[in-house]
Amino acid sequence: MDKRTFYEIRPIYKNEWEDAMQLAWDTFLVFEAPDYSVKGVYNFKSFVRDPLLKKMFTYGEYIAIGAFLDNRMVGILGVRNTNHVSLLFVDQEFHRLGIASALMRRYFRDAKHDGITYVTVNSSPYAVEFYHKIGFKNVKDEIEKDGIRFTPMRKELAG
């Protein structure tokens, strides 16, 4: 089966939250954790397990979009404050199939519709090249805060 053809991009349902955060955690462990300190790994785990984040999602204050293949979640995009990408993870089995780009395109479309003019992200070292490819520009050089390494970036959304 061609994995590029059969995935659906849609908002994550409330009953899918735990699966989404598990996907983020599992993917983080493979691709991000090796570049982070013990403190950074702990802080990321605390973020995806944070009951306040789940509450924000439940009340519609945190956007979560998923990519699904035959009802299996294979990608997650999370956005806080309407325009800051805080999670973007794709199951390792589905990397380089355009899923992260599709998630971002869906979000950009919705954001423009809602009048959002720019998007920010604190990119992990692993994802910097991806974000550059889709039009993000560095705002500052890489920073380390609370054990988490990231490069602040911004993308203008053209009308």
Domain ranges of the chain: 7-156
In the predicted structure, residue 4 carries a pLDDT above the cut 70: no
List the Cα angle 63/64/68 in 5-degree steps.
155
Listed in order, strand segments (DSSP E) in the chain are 7-11, 62-69, 72-80, 84-90, 118-123, 137-138, 143-145, 148-156
Q: What is the mean pLDDT of residues 4-13?
A: 83
Backbone phi and psi for residue 57, each to the nearest 5 degrees, phi listed first: -60, -45
In this prediction, residue 35 carries a pLDDT of: 82
The average confidence (pLDDT) of the chain is 93
**Report field, pTM of the whole predicted structure over 0.85:** yes
In the predicted structure, residue 128 carries a pLDDT above the cut 80: yes
The span from the CA of 120 to the CA of 47, in Å, is 18
7-156 CATH fold: Aminopeptidase (3.40.630)
Which of the four pLDDT bands, split at 50, 70 and 90, describes residue 5?
low
What confidence tens digit (pLDDT) does each residue in 25-69 have? 999 999 989 888 899 999 999 999 999 999 999 999 999 999 999
Q: What is the mean pLDDT of residues 5-23?
A: 92
In this prediction, residue 147 carries a pLDDT of: 87
Q: Which residue(s) pair with 11 in the sheet?
A: 65
In this prediction, residue 1 carries a pLDDT of: 42
